[in-house]
Structure 1
């Protein structure tokens, strides 16, 4: 092995530099370990904050990672628990640290429950609920209207996303299924008009409301394929069966999951952003 030929007058500086380098590395290691310990304590010492979880603040890029590898739902769950259910580029956690955290939190009840919900919502989504134009643009626009005020039937909050078409014409725009699944509910609801509900294989319930009509022959119990025609956009609802024209033509999309406390709605907005971008 070749020996370093260090001039005598530079040896103190050289060894000081090496010592400083080692000290910095070790300090970084200790700080990282302290950070991991704090993350573990935070996860193991918390319960699910359902109202924050329901907002589903998931950038499409993060949903895409999970869709490419469903095992990434574990990383997503840990990251959301640590970051108060909201992700941004500044809040990412290193993959190496996520691998260290998983064995220490994977048996935590809140982690297990939350992971099940993210899996149920994300695993089966495949198609935007309306066909896209040839250039990839959409025939509809939509905003994050989660929990906006609504007043029909009394003061309440909007628990879904409204997709508004270019032209307010009933029966013009086909509605397609986002997922595979089974028709669990179909028919009239006072607030939802002609609606159809699809239970996806992983457990989430996808609710399509205010339809003008249904696809021919579709009925409760039918198996549905992602991309299959469900019906056509309309303006039905807000009254007894057959009521139309109480609002502009649009599709109301809702997503629901079953929890120990009953059925829970979640914000579809970020799911739709992801599906529109595919």
Structure 2
């Protein structure tokens, strides 16, 4: 009996210390981002700068978060390869790590850390394989675009990855989590959840977004780091702006009275950048206005690598509003 108790005690202690060691090995978000950047820089080349690698990796991470058919890769980097790509289309061993047989079956899996195997669970091997695949094809930004098109065969995927690359190149950091509320909080405004409300102009449809009511001319701000993808007139949304960020999200700002100076398609913006002004434009041909009270229609659309679909922005607007009010309490001059 005493022996059994001792065995159970030792077993408990082993489990306890194992869990403690595991917890100690868990990385903070900042540590993860630092490690990712180390990989990107280590495997970058003159024609494959780190921000190209970061852009592809971030895209892969984004789609894994919203696709049930794609497992989230357990590693610092998120890039995943299919069996056919890694081990070769005719290789009978889908989990093959042997460099000789992978090469024989024309697989692309490579050994990045010189341990003698090509392991898809190894971040070093994954990054090295990505670079070895892209390097022979890429000698310019246009080549990078063509290589992405060959691999993914989807125009919106290519556009998203190029967007990521431009933003990372501009800010030279991976942590782009900051968000801003979409209206200047020093002005009067009101909003509630209007997701799913019925809309009739142009045919019966569901309201895909949140309406924020304010006086005409109140500044409208970018919620995120991103690139202005669309700017101009839409018969439904009037004067509108679309901004794509590094999280596969398209931010839609509609019914504006006008655009801020310097805001053009292709411009990189950041949280808090004034992009336009509240208005009542839309529901008609170019220039139509005044068919409804001035407000900002704000929508969010997620791209999952196959389709782009709308989701309710209201909870995030509330969160960003709270965060912004807290910031301005600490620094009233920033208002």
TM tier relative to shorter chain: 0.5 to 0.7
- The question of whether the paired residues in 1 share the 8 Å contact of 2:228 and 2:269 is answered with yes
CA distance in 1, matches of 2:199, 2:68: 37
Tell me how far 1:236 sits from its aligned partner. 0.2
**Of 295, 298, 301, the match for 1:256:** 301
Give a deviation string over 1:178-200, Cα, whole Å, max 9, x none: 01111100000000000001111
Tell me how far 1:170 sits from its aligned partner. 2.2
Tell me how far 1:124 sits from its aligned partner. 3.9
Q: CA RMSD in A?
A: 3.2
**Of 69, 72, 84, the match for 1:109:** 69
CA distance in 1, matches of 2:30, 2:190: 29
- The question of whether the paired residues in 2 share the 8 Å contact of 1:193 and 1:209 is answered with yes
Give a deviation string over 1:155-186, Cα, whole Å, max 9, x none: 00000000012xxx422x00011011111000
Q: Does 1:275 align with 2:320?
A: yes
**Of 163, 172, 183, the match for 1:130:** 183
Q: Does 1:241 align with 2:286?
A: yes
**Of 194, 216, 219, the match for 1:170:** 216
CA distance in 2, matches of 1:193, 1:240: 8
CA distance in 2, matches of 1:230, 1:157: 26
Tell me how far 1:111 sits from its aligned partner. 5.5
- The question of whether the paired residues in 2 share the 8 Å contact of 1:124 and 1:201 is answered with no
**Corresponding residue SS for 1:162:** strand
- Matched residue, 1:157: 206
Where in structure 2 are there 5+ consecutive unaligned residues?
1-27, 32-66, 79-163, 165-175, 324-335
After superposing on structure 2, the runs of 4+ consecutive aligned residues of structure 1 that deviate more than 2 Å are 68-71, 107-113
**Corresponding residue SS for 2:228:** strand
CA distance in 2, matches of 1:238, 1:108: 37
Count of matched residue positions in the alignment of Structure 1 and Structure 2: 167
CA distance in 2, matches of 1:108, 1:235: 39
TM-score of the two chains, using structure 1 as the length reference: 0.54
**Of 180, 190, 212, the match for 2:235:** 190
Give a deviation string over 1:6-47, Cα, whole Å, max 9, x none: xxxxxxxxxxxxxxxxxxxxxxxxxxxxxxxxxxxxxxxxxx
Matches within 5 A, 1:1-278: 109=69, 112=72, 124=177, 126-133=179-186, 139-165=188-214, 169-171=215-217, 173-278=218-323
Where in structure 1 are there 5+ consecutive unaligned residues?
1-67, 72-106
C-alpha spacing 1:272/1:108, structure 2 compared with 1 (3 Å): closer
**Structure of higher RCO (CA pairs closer than 8 Å, 6+ residues apart):** 1
**Corresponding residue SS for 1:112:** coil
